[in-house]
Every structure is written in structure tokens, then in C-alpha cells.
A and B are shown apart, each in its own frame.
Chain A
Amino acid sequence: MRKEETVKLISAEGFEFVIHKDAAMVSQTIRNMLTSPGSFAETEHGEVTFPEISTTILEKICKYFYWNLQYASGKQTEFHIEPELVLELMMAANYLHT
């Protein structure tokens, strides 16, 4: 995996998650950011900051991206969501269109 193939997602608290672009594109919102050059400053640096999304939720989102890729490729496992996280996660998922 080359550095150019990754994106860095940054949480409200400044924690960083480096994931493959394919995984990040599971989110329609991030896909739009990455595929419409010039319209988002984030695209240049391969970094997107989410001041509204906490570290715990952002990490869960990244896990979901990878689960989604596996699921789409036929490996059908359950994606467990702790009931404590559902509200925050639902809001983030809604924002990210994923």
C-alpha cells in the first residue's frame, strides 16, 4: 500500500486514522471530496478533518468501511454495534452517507 493510496481521517480530538482510499470511498461524502478535485482543500493533502466526530466513533466508522468491503466481496459476517454507540454512530453515518 503506497502512501498516495491512503487518506488520513482526523477526529474531533485530533486522533488520526490512515485508511485505504477504497475503504474511505464507502462513504459517499468522502468519495465526493476525493473525486471532485479543487472543491475541497482536503483533497490536496489526502487529509479530512471531522470536528464533529469523536475518536471512538471515527474508528468505528473506519472498521465499518473495511467490513463493508469484505461484505461486498462475499464474506458475510456480522458488524457488531455496541448499543451505547448507536446514536453517535448513526449521526456520523448519516453525515458521511454510508
Chain B
Amino acid sequence: MENQLVELCLQAASVSRDSIEKWRRQRRTLERLPSQLADSLLRRLISRRILFPSLLELFKHNVEELDLRGESSVDAEWIAYIGAFRYLRSLNLSDCRRLTTSALWPIAGLESLRELDLSRCSKVTDAGIRHLLTITTLEKLCISETGVSANGVMLLSSLRNLSVLDLGGLPVTDLALSSLQVLTKLQYLDLWGSKITDKGAAFLQMFPNLSFLNLAWTSVTKLPNLSSLECLNMSNCTINTLLEGDNNKAPLTKLIVSGATFGDEFEAFHYIETTFLTFLDVSNSSLHRFYFLSHLNSLEHLDLSRSMIGDDSLELIACIGVNLKYLNLSHTRVSSAGVKTLTGHVPNLEFLSVSHTSVDDVAISYMSMMPSVKVIDLSSTNIKGVIHQVGPESDPVLSLSALQSLQHLGRLNLVDTQVTEAALYPLENLQELRELSIKSVSLTDISFNYTSSMPKLTNLRIHDGVLTNSGLNSYKPPLTLRMMDLRGCWLLTEDAILSFCKTHPHIEVRHELVHIYPSKQIVSNSASSSRSTLKASQAKQKPEVPVLPCFLDQRLKYSREELLALQYSSVSCAPPHDRDVVLPNTQSD
């Protein structure tokens, strides 16, 4: 375990408010704290929900990255302290619902700030944007779903260093967009749900470095060629032409047009450079001819769910299947015959969903010939698990046994199929299976037994089965099992489930009657510790905080006396500077 002692220290520092009191007066030590440790400590205090505004003051000398997303308590007082974080480079305040425009003004003094996220702070309006205009160093700004209007967006033209701008859900007009043309460093522009029309879309050619563009839910129908565009989202638009133009075709790698209505498929896809396209999402779109697929030789991810595709068009996918890793055919007219078309043509396919189709047991034998498959979703299909042979004397064949040839199969979904318990028997031999989901009223205690011998199973879902208390009691789960979801198994009682949990404390059990998390391990928060490890490695490049000779407080430009008063009054409440606790020396001679 890397840096386990650092992790133990972070835990010890954030046990309770009392433990904070023990170290918060060590001012000099706090000032020396490397920024990645300060960031981790602050993040830990936030996740433990024991951070209070005046504590922020301790971190003003070293924190470079502050993520307060979703903290409902963040208000003007918090921001007043954050305004003194002189080395702050990245500030995430998304979903801080209490934040108002006036609370934002101290941010104007953050000279080192590069990234600011105010997404979904609905009380932030155009006046809030004015506070940001002094931070000319800003490179990334996210203000999606705030109260900012088109006029507020126009103000952003003075932030010339912006390369990432998220304006999703804002009423950005063509006029407002045209005023942003001076932002020539823009690489990422999100305009979903805006009032941009074809006229505004024409201005997009003025951004020479634009590589990501989101125009979902707009009335743009014609998008001109954008010479550096790599990723385009036009889902839920009515599309006539995409990237029309002859010179320097966009090197598109990712295209999302889910829910889009197409005027003419031929026109829509005609101009796209297909050489680099690896990701295509046409789910839920109005497409009904799919000939364009035959040119997409680099495709790795293809989502056709809820589209009009049928068995006859799967031949097109077979032709370009060599690189395909992800294929979603759920909610389509595809049947087992279509799956047959794919066999032998998708050597790299890892994910296959035919959920909510008429696919039946025959398809399983075709899937068993797709050697790389890791995930199969067969939910809500006609799978029965049994194929009845023609002829009076032949025994029924268990169709799931074909899956045994798939060396990498890790996830299998059989929810809402007609699979009977007897047909599950071949699953016993799936050596790589990590997740299994079944939902059927015909399942009894025997279904438990099939899972006992699966060496890698971590997640097991058995819904709506007639499992009994004694079945649960005698169940020997595989050692790897971490989560068991038994919702809808109505015969089980609370006592029986609790007793199972006691015997198997490392397994999280879900049921309507109880929801039990596994007992805490020594490193309980693996997600956040891995994040801090990542950060630590990034921070190695610049271990020391630069020391500025003097710090010019930008807030002096403002005449918000009441807020200044607020800030200084809270500073005076804080403990005096430079009073390190003298530690007793435990050395004995």
C-alpha cells in the first residue's frame, strides 16, 4: 500500500472537530505543508463533513485545488475565506446551491486561479460574471445552468485565455456567440440547450482550435466544417448537414447524435471524414438507413439502441466489425438471425447488449463465437436457457453452456428472461464471471448453489426469486463476493438477512428490509485515497509553493464594506498567528 502512513495521518486528523482543535493552532507547520497534502487534508475534512468556514483560513498558504461541489452549506462566508487562497489554481463550486452573485466577489482576488466551476449555481447571475472579469488568467470556466443571461455571456469576451467554456443550458444567442469570437484559444465549447441557430453555428468557424463542441438540444440544423473538431455532440437536434465544406476536414473521432432527427442520412453523413471516427452514438435517432456505417472502419464504440436497425443492416456492421469493442443493439428489431451475421466478424468485441429484443437461445451459440466478449446483456429477451431439439428422443440442450467457451466473460445479465433454474446449471463453470444478474419468479434456493463455485464472482443479483431463509442460511458464497442484491425475494425475513450479514461481514446485502454495508476496512475510502495518490504524483513536478514578494489584494478594488467587515470579523475570531503547540519530547535517557 503506497503512502499508508499519510493515509493514516489524514484519517487521524479528521476524526472529529476535537482532533482538528489539536492541530489547527500549529500555524507554522500548516504553512509548510506541501500543497498536495494540504489539498488532501482539506478534501478529507470536506468529505467527513467537519469543515467549517473559519477553518479554511488555515489553508490559505498552500491549497492549490479546492473541490467543494455539492456542498449545500457553502455561502458568502466560505467564499470570503477562499478569497485569501493566494495559490488557488482550481476551484469547483458546482451545485453549491446557496451561492449568490454577491457571495462571489472575493473570487476576483484569486490571482492564480486557472479553473472555476460554478455549474448549476442557479442564483449566480450576470452580475456574478462581472466579479470574474478581473481574473484574466482563467483558462477553464463552467457556468452551465446558472442564472447567467446572453448579456452575461457577452461579458466573457474579455477572458482571452479561456480554452474551456461550458455554457450548457444558458440562453446563449447567436449575437452573444459572435461576441465570443475573440476567444481564439477555445478548445472546448459546450452550448447545449442554447438559442444558437444555423446563423450562430456559422460563427463557430472563427474558433481555430475548437476540438470539442456540444450543440445538443439546439435548433442548429447545418454545421459548417470546423477544421480541428474531434468531438461533436448534436443529440436531439434536427440535422440536415454535418461539417459541410471541402478544405481541411474535421478529424472527428467521436460523434453523438442520439435522439436526433435526420433530414437526409446521405446528406448528413456525406461530408464527415470517417478515417478517425471511433465512437458513434446514433441511439434513439430517426435514422432508418444505415449504409453510412460501411465507411466507418475505425469504429470501436457503436450505440444503435432504440434505433430502427434490423437484421438486414447488421451485415454492414459485420463489414466494419474488426475494431469494434462496444455494440449496443438494445430495444431494436434485431433477432438471433442478426447476431448470426456478426459471428466471425467482431474479433475484438467486449460489450454486447441485445436487451429488449426478440433474441432467443439460438443467439447464445453465436455469441459464444465472439472470443473477446466480456459483457453480455440478455435482459428482457426470449432467452429460456433451453433449446428443445426436434425429434422424439433427443434431450433438451442447455443453451447457456455455450457461454463456457468465452474466456473473458465477466458480466452476464439475464434479468427478465424466461430462464428456468435448471437451465442455470452451466453457469457454474464460468471461471471469469464477476457479475451475475437474474430476475425471475421461478428461482429457488438451488440458484444459490450454482454461484458458490464461481471463483471470481463479486456481484450477485437475484431478484424476485422464491429464496427461503434456510436457503440463505446454508449458502456458501464465493470468497470474492462483495455485493448481493436480493430485492424482491419476498420470503426472506429481516432476521435471516441480518444473521447472514453477521456471518459474512464483508458482503454488502441489499434487500427491501435491510441495507447493510460491509464492515469498515483500515483504508475505508479507497476512491478518495487513489485520487490523492494520483494528485500526489502530479504534484511532484512542483513540490514548493512559489513565494510572491508581496500579495496585492484585488478585493481592495471593491467597495463592498459589509463583506470586508464580515471577513475581518471572522478572522479576528480565529486563533492568533504563530503559536505552535510545543510538543513534549518523549525522549528518555
Contact = CB atoms under 8 A, between A and B. Distances in A.
Q: Do A and B contact each other directly (Cβ–Cβ < 8 Å)?
A: yes
Interface of A: 15, 28, 54-56, 59, 61, 64, 68, 76, 79, 81-91, 93-94, 96-98
B4 A83 contact: no
Contacts of A90: 5-6, 9-10, 13, 33, 37, 41
A84 B582 CA distance: 10
Contact of A81 (B12, B36, B583): B12
20 contacts: A54-B583, A56-B584, A56-B587, A59-B586, A64-B5, A79-B8, A81-B8, A83-B19, A83-B23, A84-B22, A84-B26, A86-B10, A87-B29, A89-B5, A90-B5, A91-B34, A93-B6, A94-B3, A94-B6, A98-B3
A67 to B, nearest CB: 9
B4 A81 contact: no
Contacts of B2: 28, 97
Given A56-B583, A79-B8, A83-B13, A97 B26 contact: no
B33 A85 contact: no
Given A86-B10, A97-B3, A98-B5, 17 more contacts: A54-B583, A56-B583, A56-B585, A56-B587, A61-B5, A64-B8, A81-B8, A82-B12, A82-B22, A83-B12, A87-B23, A91-B32, A91-B37, A93-B5, A93-B9, A97-B2, A98-B4
B586 A56 contact: yes
A93 B532 CA distance: 14
Nearest to B11: A81
Q: 7 closest Cβ contacts across the A-B interface?
A: A83-B22, A93-B5, A90-B9, A81-B12, A83-B19, A86-B13, A87-B29
B574 interface: no
Contacts of A86: 9-10, 12-13, 19, 22-23
B50 interface: no
A61 B8 CA distance: 12
Nearest to B16: A83
A65 to B, nearest CB: 9
B59 to A, nearest CB: 12
A10 B15 CA distance: 31
Nearest to A79: B8
Nearest to B19: A83
Nearest to B25: A84
Q: Main SS of chain A's interface residues?
A: helix
Contacts of B5: 61, 64, 68, 89-90, 93, 96, 98
Interface of B: 2-6, 8-10, 12-13, 15, 18-20, 22-23, 26, 29-30, 32-34, 36-37, 41, 522, 536, 581, 583-587
Contacts of B581: 84
Nearest to B10: A90
A81 B8 CA distance: 8
A15 B321 CA distance: 68
Contacts of B32: 91
A87 B8 contact: no
Contacts of A88: 26, 29, 583
Given A93-B6, A94-B34, A98-B5, A87 B586 contact: no
A11 to B, nearest CB: 9
- Among B2, B20, B587, which residue has the most Cβ atoms of chain A within 10 A? B587
Contacts of A59: 586-587
Given A56-B586, A79-B8, A94-B37, A87 B19 contact: no
A39 B492 CA distance: 65
Nearest to A96: B5
A95 to B, nearest CB: 9
A76 B37 CA distance: 26
B147 to A, nearest CB: 41
Contacts of B583: 54, 56, 84-85, 88
A79 B26 CA distance: 22
A58 B173 CA distance: 62
Contact of A68 (B4, B15, B536): B4
A13 B13 CA distance: 26
A89 to B, nearest CB: 5
Nearest to A57: B583
Contact of B33 (A15, A82, A91): A91
Contacts of A56: 583-587
Contacts of B4: 68, 98
A19 to B, nearest CB: 15
Given A68-B4, A94-B3, A97-B2, A87 B587 contact: no
Contact of B26 (A54, A64, A87): A87
Nearest to B20: A83
A91 B15 CA distance: 18
Nearest to A27: B5
Contacts of A55: 585, 587
A46 B106 CA distance: 53
A94 B62 CA distance: 15
Contacts of A79: 8
A56 B37 CA distance: 20
Contacts of B41: 90
Contacts of A87: 13, 23, 26, 29-30, 33
Contacts of B26: 84, 87-88
